[in-house]
């Protein structure tokens, strides 16, 4: 039987963290610029808006309890009198978590919390510093949680970053979002992966055409979008493409493509 008070919370935190998403074009760690090759999507690809807020998670546990966390830390457990107030995550997501049904395994809802005073991009989504929004972008289902909670911290981290977490595919993600009453990050298009541009300038053009402004403004705001996330329908391949990375790279080449 699962007992959250008997679990190593360091392992549970690591097990339920969101992994790093690679960039569509290779990111040069020396200068932050983009270079070839581009990520290959052998089948279809779905583009979604990448919302610029703070990565948050709601962890539903088999004993009926839940945890709320940022990307790096667990901030609150169901029933706590005091929660970590970082970025307003607990305050905003506790009502959401309270309405989600627990199952037999561990389920993690990953949401982007944005607006309010969440980072420098908040003004792109709202002019009201008290107004927050959140969008669901991924879900992990861990029906067999006992085995990984017996691993070493290093093994859990390596498993997570190597893509070991069982993320649900697109159709299941949409179904879970609807059942929970949660809005997904906006879906922009669905096409063959072979149609994605291999070049950096061409990808910048696709970004601009696909997302000239954010689609998740909270009070009519139509600010700059951060970029897009590209994902296979079964989430076997995923990559991100951010405007700032392409603009920086093209600027260095002296061939910036203007944004509208």
pLDDT tens readout for residues 48-89: 999 999 999 999 998 889 999 999 999 999 988 788 888 899
Give 92's pLDDT tier (boundaries 50, 70, 90): very high
Average pLDDT, the chain: 93
Q: What is the pTM of this model?
A: 0.94
Report d(CA 7, CA 142) in Å as an integer. 15
Cα 15 to the center of its chain, rounded Å: 16
Q: Does residue 3 carry a pLDDT above 80?
A: no
Q: Give burial (CB, 10 Å; 0-12/13-18/19+) of 171.
A: exposed
Q: Is 36 helix (H, G, I), strand (E, B) or coil?
A: strand
Return the pLDDT at 258.
55
Report d(CA 213, CA 227) in Å as an integer. 10
The arithmetic mean of pLDDT across residues 39-43, rounded, is: 97
The arithmetic mean of pLDDT across residues 99-121, rounded, is: 92
Contact between residue 105 and residue 142 where contact means Cβ atoms under 8 Å apart:
yes
């Amino acid at each position: 039987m699962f007992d959250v008070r008997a679990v190593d919370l360091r392992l549970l935190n690591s097990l339920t963290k969101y992994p790093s998403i690679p960039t569509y074009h290779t990111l040069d760690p020396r200068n932050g610029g983009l270079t070839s090759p581009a990520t290959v999507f052998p089948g279809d690809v779905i583009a979604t808006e990448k919302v610029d807020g703070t990565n948050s998670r709601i962890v539903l546990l088999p004993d009926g309890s839940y945890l709320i966390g940022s990307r790096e830390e667990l901030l609150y457990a169901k029933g706590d009198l005091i929660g970590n107030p970082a970025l307003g995550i607990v305050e905003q997501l506790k009502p959401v978590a309270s309405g989600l049904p627990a199952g037999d395994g561990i389920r993690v809802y990953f949401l982007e919390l944005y607006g309010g005073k969440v980072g420098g991009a908040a003004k792109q989504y709202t002019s009201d510093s008290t107004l927050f929004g959140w969008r669901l972008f991924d879900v992990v289902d861990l029906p067999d949680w006992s085995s990984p909670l017996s691993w070493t911290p290093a093994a859990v981290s390596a498993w997570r970053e190597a893509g070991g977490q069982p993320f649900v595919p697109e159709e299941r993600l949409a179904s879970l979002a609807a059942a929970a009453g949660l809005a997904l990050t906006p879906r922009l298009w669905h096409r063959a992966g072979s149609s994605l541009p291999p070049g950096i300038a061409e990808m910048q053009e696709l970004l601009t055409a696909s997302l000239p402004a954010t689609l998740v403004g909270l009070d009519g705001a139509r600010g700059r979008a951060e970029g897009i996330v590209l994902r296979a329908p079964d989430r076997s391949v995923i990559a991100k493409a951010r405007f700032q990375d392409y603009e920086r790279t093209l600027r260095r080449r002296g061939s910036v493509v203007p944004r509208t």
